[in-house]
Structure 1
C-alpha cells in the first residue's frame, strides 16, 4: 500500500522544483525589494535602489535615509542573488533590461531558497534517523517538507526559510561535534551559519541564542575533567566567532554605509509611515505579550501555525517523551533545553509583535525558524504511538501529519493570502482551484496548460499525503481497522474546524476575484520566460 521512499522523494523534489506560485501584478514587496537591490548592485554598483526604482518600477518594503532608498530587510539574499542575476544578464544579452522579472524570481527562488531546503531535508532525515525508526524519520521529514512553513517559504524569495536552513545547519554542525563525529572545526561551520542567519533575518537572533545555549550545554555536560571542558568551550567559542565574523562584519559595514551606524537597521527608517508603529517600542517592536497575537499566531483559521500544520501539536506532548529520554540519555538533555528555549522564545516573540504585520503570507512567517526544532519531539511521540498497544493513537497522529500536508500544501499553491480572508484553505485556495486557478509551474513552460498541469501536481501532493498516513498508521504493509477509523475521525475533526471557520463572505469572494485578475497562468494559459 505504500510507495517506495525513492518515489516519494522524487515526488517531493518535483513539487519543490516545478511549482512557481508567483503573480507579477501583486508586486510582491518582500521579494522584489531584495531583487531590486540585486539589480542595483549589478547594474549601477550601488547599495541604494533609487535608479532601479526608476528603471524597473516601484516596489514596497523600503527604507529611506538621506533621500536614498534601500530594502528594509537584512541584505544577505540581495547579495546572494547577484551571481544569479549576472548569469541571467549575460544570457539575455548583457543590456540593462536583459533580465525579466519572472525568470529572475524563478531562478532566485530555485537556487537560493528551494535547493537549500532540499539539502536541509537531508540533514533533518539524518538527525531524526539517529533517534527514531526509519519509517518515522521518513514520514516526519516529508511532513516537514510539504506540511509546514518550510514548503511555503521555500517557494518565496524571502528570508524566513533561509533562516530555518541556516539555524538548523548550525545546529547540525554542533550536534555532530557534540557526538564526536566531527572535529572541532564543526564550530567554525556553526559560527558561519550563525553569522549568515543574522545577515539574512534580524529576528533570526532568537534562534542564534538557542544555538549558543545548546553548544554550551553540549560542552558542560560532557564526561570530561573540568579543565578539558573549559578548554573545549574556549576553543569552540573562538572558532564560532571566527566563522561568524565575515558575515557580522559585512552586515555592520552595510548598516554603516546605508543607515549611518553599524547597529542601525532599515526598520528605523521605514519609508511607509503606516508600518513604523510596528517596529517602535521594546526591541525591534517586541513588547509585552498580547493574548490576541498569541491566539491568532497559533490557532487563526487564516494563518495559525497549528491550524495549517496540526502535526506540530504533537511536539507539545512530545516534549514529555523527550524529557523522559533526557533522564537516561545525557545528550537528550541538551535537545530538551534547546527545544524548550526556542519554543518559549518564539512564542514570546509572536505574542508580543504586532500580528497585523504578518502581511499577505501563508502562516505566521516569523515562526519558520522554529519549526525544524520541533521535529524531534514529534518523531519521538510518533514512535511511541506506533509501538503502543492501542494503535488508534497512531491513526490520529498520522492524520495530523496528512492534514498538515493537505492544508499547508493547498495554501502554498496560492501562497499570497490577503489579510481579510476568513480561512486560507477553504476560503481562498479551494475556490481558486475549483475555478481552475492552479499554481503556475514549470510544466507550463513546457507547453502543458493550466489547469491540467497544476492539477497533476495537486494529485502528487495528495498522493504523498496518503503515503504518510499509511507509513505512520500502518504496521508493515497492513493498515489496521482501528488506526484507519481513528485517523479518518481525526481528519474529519480537523476538516470540520476548517469548515466552520470559513465565511464565504464579501471579503473571501473579493480576495478570490482579485487573485483571479492577477493570476500569472490563468485557466488555459501557459508560461513563457
Structure 2
C-alpha cells in the first residue's frame, strides 16, 4: 500500500503549518464575538453571550439577551476542541490560540497541500507547482486569515475540499462522496453566509458531472443537517428560523449599514469595486498582484473544452462574490487586511493560474516569480505586524504597517513568548523555514536524480 503523503508533501505541509501557527493575533470584535459564543455554550450552556459580551460590539440584542451576530458555524466548530482541551489550558489566550490552530491554521496548511496536489493536474513542472502553492499560501489573504479566527478561511477550506472530492472522483462518485460534499458545503454556508452562492453552483457542478442525476439527492441530504442546525440556532436566539443576528445589531454604525438594501446588500457600487480590487485601502490585486494572472488564466481555462464545467464553477463563483462584495454596504470589512469576504473564492482564482503556467515562456515565468515575490512580501509585512488594519486609514500599508516596522513593532509570536523582541522574535521562524526549504531542495534533487 502506498503512502498517503510523499516526503515532499509533508515538507510543504510543515512549511505552511509553521507560518500559520507562529503568530498570535489578539482578538478584535469579530473574533471575540465568535469566542464569546464558544465560552457561553461551554461554560453556561446558553446561546446568549451575556457573561462575555463586553469585549465586543459585534453582537446582537434580542429579548433582553446579547448574542453573537456572526454566522455560528465557526463557533460550533471551535466548541469541539475547546470542550476537549480547556481543562488543560492555563489561560484564555492559550484557549484562543488552540481554537485558532485546530479550526483554522491546521486545516489551512492542509489546504495549501491540496492546492499543491491539484496543481499536479494542470502542470508537471515542479517549480511551477511550488510557485503557485507558495504564492497562494503566503502571498494572498490566506496568510493573515490563517492566523485569525474568522470564518472566511474555514469556508475556503471546505469549498476547495468539496471541489476536489468531485473533481478527483467525477467518474466514480459514490453516495458517500456526494453526501460529504453536501455536508461540507452546508457547514461552509453556515460559517460564512455568502458561501451559499457557491453551494448552489457546486450543486449544479455535481449535477453536471453525475451520470445518474438521481444520486444528487445524497448531496442534498448532506446539506440538510447544517441547515437544521442553523435554523434551530436562529429560532432559539431570535425567535424565527429565518431571523439572523444581523437583524438585531447593537452597534449604531452597523445598524446604519445593515439597514441599506437587504441586510446591507443593494446594487454593486463602482467605487466599492475599485476598493476591493485595486485600491491601496483594501485592494485584492494591490496586496496580491500575483492574482492578476488569473485573468489570462481564465481565458486559457475557457479554451480547454474538457474543463468547461470547472471553468463555469470557478468563473461564476468569483464573479458572484466580487459583485456581492461590491454591493455590500460594509465592503471594506471593518478593521481588516484586504477584501476579506473574497477569501473563499481565492482558490478558484489560483487554479486558473495553474492552467496559465502551461503557457509560460522564460519572460512570463520571470514575471510570475516577480509578482509572487511582491505578493509574499506585502502580505507577510502585514501578517507579522498587525493584520487588523485600521478602518479609517486609507493607505494602511504606508500609514500603519511600515511605521510599525520602522519602530521594530512585530506582532506577538512564538519568538516573543521565548523572550525575543522586535525583529529578533522572527529568528526562530526564519530558522525553521530555512531548514524546511533546504530539505525541500534536497528532496527535489533526489527526485531528479531518480
Partner of 1:520: none
> Is the CA contact (8 Å cut-off) linking 1:168 and 1:372 kept in structure 2?
yes
Partner of 2:411: 439
Pair 1:445–1:171, CA change in 2 (3 A)? same
Structure 1 stretches lacking a partner, 5+ long: 93-98, 220-228, 469-475, 477-529
Tell me the secondary structure at the aligned position of residue 64 of structure 1: strand
Alignment RMSD = 2.6
Tell me the secondary structure at the aligned position of residue 304 of structure 2: helix
Q: 324, 328, 331: which is aligned to 1:349?
A: 324
Partner of 2:164: 172
1:455 to partner: Cα distance: 5.3
1:5 to partner: Cα distance: 7.8
Give the Cα–Cα distance (whole angstroms) in 2 for the partners of residues 453 and 8 of structure 1.
23
Give the Cα–Cα distance (whole angstroms) in 2 for the partners of residues 438 and 383 of structure 1.
39
Work out whether 1:406 is the aligned partner of 2:406.
Answer: no
Deviations 1:39-61 (A, max 9, x none): 111111110011233xxx43220
Tell me the secondary structure at the aligned position of residue 286 of structure 1: coil
Alignment of 1:57-456 (within 5 A): 57-91=54-88, 100-133=91-124, 134-180=126-172, 182-219=173-210, 229=211, 232-235=212-215, 237-326=216-305, 329=306, 332-355=307-330, 357-385=332-360, 388=361, 391-413=362-384, 414-454=386-426
> Is the CA contact (8 Å cut-off) linking 2:315 and 2:348 kept in structure 1?
no
> Is the CA contact (8 Å cut-off) linking 1:421 and 1:427 kept in structure 2?
yes
Pair 1:215–1:39, CA change in 2 (3 A)? same
> Is the CA contact (8 Å cut-off) linking 1:439 and 1:454 kept in structure 2?
no
Partner of 1:42: 42
Pair 1:120–1:322, CA change in 2 (3 A)? same
Give the Cα–Cα distance (whole angstroms) in 1 for the partners of residues 151 and 177 of structure 2.
24
Pair 1:61–1:464, CA change in 2 (3 A)? farther
- Bigger Rg, which one: 1
Give the Cα–Cα distance (whole angstroms) in 1 for the partners of residues 207 and 85 of structure 2.
44
Aligned length: 433
Q: TM-score scaled by structure 2? A: 0.89
1:76 to partner: Cα distance: 1.6
Structure 2 stretches lacking a partner, 5+ long: 1-7, 441-447
1:82 to partner: Cα distance: 2.1
Pair 1:67–1:7, CA change in 2 (3 A)? same
Give the Cα–Cα distance (whole angstroms) in 1 for the partners of residues 244 and 213 of structure 2.
32
Give the Cα–Cα distance (whole angstroms) in 2 for the partners of residues 348 and 113 of structure 1.
26
Give the Cα–Cα distance (whole angstroms) in 1 for the partners of residues 224 and 9 of structure 2.
40
Tell me the secondary structure at the aligned position of residue 70 of structure 1: strand
Deviations 1:416-438 (A, max 9, x none): 10022243333322221221111
Tell me the secondary structure at the aligned position of residue 178 of structure 1: coil
More deviation, 400-409/120-129: 120-129
Give the Cα–Cα distance (whole angstroms) in 1 for the partners of residues 55 and 10 of structure 2.
45
Pair 1:461–1:378, CA change in 2 (3 A)? farther
Tell me the secondary structure at the aligned position of residue 185 of structure 1: helix
1:371 to partner: Cα distance: 0.2
Tell me the secondary structure at the aligned position of residue 404 of structure 1: helix
> Is the CA contact (8 Å cut-off) linking 2:276 and 2:332 kept in structure 1?
no
> Is the CA contact (8 Å cut-off) linking 1:440 and 1:454 kept in structure 2?
no
Deviations 1:69-112 (A, max 9, x none): 110001122122223333443125xxxxxx63321221111111
Pair 1:203–1:356, CA change in 2 (3 A)? closer
Deviations 1:352-410 (A, max 9, x none): 1124551111110100011001112111112311xx3xx22221121111111111111
1:461 to partner: Cα distance: 7.6
Give the Cα–Cα distance (whole angstroms) in 2 for the partners of residues 364 and 374 of structure 1.
14
Work out whether 1:12 is the aligned partner of 2:5.
Answer: no
> Is the CA contact (8 Å cut-off) linking 1:296 and 1:355 kept in structure 2?
no
Partner of 2:443: none
More deviation, 353-362/343-352: 353-362
Give the Cα–Cα distance (whole angstroms) in 2 for the partners of residues 410 and 460 of structure 1.
18
1:9 to partner: Cα distance: 5.1
